[in-house]
A and B are shown apart, each in its own frame.
Chain A
Amino acid sequence: MDDLDRGLINALQDGIPICERPFAEAAMRFGLTEQEVADRIAALREAGFLSRFGPMYDAVRLGGGLTLAAMAVPEERFDEVAATVDAFPEVAHNYARDHALNMWFVLATETPERIGQAIAEIEEATGLDVLDLPKEEEFFLSLRLEA
C-alpha cells in the first residue's frame, strides 16, 4: 500500500458518490484515470485492506433484528465456544475482549423475533448465558480511520 492508496481510502471513506462517474473526482485529485482508481480499489480489496466497497445496510430498516451480545466463557472452553457461536449464520463478527464477559459478537437476523430465538439457541448449544445488549440510542456513526 503506497501513499496514493492511503489517500484514496481516506477520500472514499466519506462516501462513494452516487452519480454516473463516481471515480471522476478522486481520479482528478490524484492524477489517475477512473479505471486506475477502480483497479487500485480492487487491488486493496484483494490484499485484505478493505472488507467492503459499497453499501452497508441498516438491518432494522430492512425489517431485521440487530444486537450486540456478550458471554462469560471459561478460558479452557474458549475456542470450542467460539466455534459454536461462529457457526450460527446470524453471527456477524465475534471478538475476544479482556473482561469477565470475554466474548462479544454482533447478531444480525432476518426478523426482530429471531434475535431472541438465536440467543436461546446459543445458550442451549453452549450451556452459557448470553447478555443481549441492543442499542437504545445511537449518538454517532462514522467508522473512519486514517489509512
Chain B
Amino acid sequence: MELSTRDRALLTALEGGLPLVARPYAALGERLGLSEGEVIAALRRLTESGVVKRFGVVVRHHELGYRANAMVVWDVPDDRIAEAGARLSALPFVTLCYRRPRRLPDWPYSLFCMIHGRERAAVEALADEATAKAELSGLPRATLFSQRRFKQRGARYGARDAEGRGRWTISTAA
C-alpha cells in the first residue's frame, strides 16, 4: 500500500513505542494534530494491510530466562518444503519458520525454524520432536544455539531525510 504523509508521521511518532497512558491513541493524536479516531483508523488500516505486522509486546527472551535459543535447519527436498513448513508452524514451541535459499557448498539447508527454551537440553529435545512431527527424520539437520548476543535493538522509523523518504530500520527475525 502507498503510505500517506499522515501514515509516515504516525509510524515515526510510534518509534519509541505506544505512550503508556490510559488513552494512548488520544495522546499520540495530540502530538500529531489528529483526533483519537483518526489515529485508531489509520493504525487499523496499517495493521490490516500488513505494514504493521504485529502490534503488541516484544519480550527480551534472554531477560525472561529463555537462555537457550536455537535456529534449527534441515535440508528438505524442494517438493516437500511446503508441507514440512506447515507441519512445523503448527507446533506451539516453533516461533518462526521460513524457507530460505541453500548456499552450496557451505550451507545446504532450506527450511529454518526458531525454538526458544530455558534449557539447552530441553531445546534439543524439542528439535528432535519437531523433526519427527514434520516427518524430517533422516534428512541433514543442524541445530545452531546462540552463544552471545551482540546487538538487539527495537524497530525504528525515524525522521524523514532530505528527499522526504522515511528513514527506518527494523528489528525482527528476518
Residues of chain A having any CB pair with chain B under 8 Å: 9, 12-16, 18-23, 33-35, 38-39, 41-42, 45, 48-59, 61-62, 64, 66-68, 70, 72, 82, 85-86, 89-101, 104-108, 110, 131-145, 147
Contacts and interface: CB of A to CB of B under 8 A. Distances in A.
16 contacts: A12-B57, A16-B57, A21-B23, A52-B58, A55-B155, A56-B170, A59-B168, A94-B151, A96-B147, A106-B172, A107-B174, A110-B167, A135-B174, A136-B100, A136-B101, A138-B98
B20 interface: yes
B174 A97 contact: no
A147 B26 CA distance: 30
A108 B166 CA distance: 14
Contacts of B26: 20
Interface of B: 1, 3, 11, 14, 16-18, 20-26, 36, 40, 43-44, 46-47, 49-61, 63-64, 66, 71, 81-82, 85-86, 88-89, 94-101, 103, 106-107, 114, 116, 142, 144-155, 157, 165-174
A126 to B, nearest CB: 14
B152 to A, nearest CB: 4
Contacts of A134: 100-101, 174
A98 B120 CA distance: 13
Contact of A51 (B59, B81, B116, B145): B59
A123 to B, nearest CB: 14
Given A54-B55, A95-B147, A143-B95, 4 more contacts: A20-B25, A49-B60, A57-B157, A108-B171
A33 to B, nearest CB: 8
A45 B49 CA distance: 28
Given A38-B21, A56-B53, A147-B64, A66 B58 contact: no
Interface residues of chain B: helix, strand, loop or mixed (majority):
mixed
A50 B60 CA distance: 5
A141 B96 contact: yes
Contacts of A55: 11, 14, 43, 46-47, 52, 54-55, 155
A85 B151 CA distance: 10
Contact of B89 (A61, A85, A91, A139): A139
Given A14-B56, A54-B14, A135-B100, A108 B174 contact: yes
Contacts of A38: 20-22, 24
A138 B36 CA distance: 34
Contacts of A86: 150-151
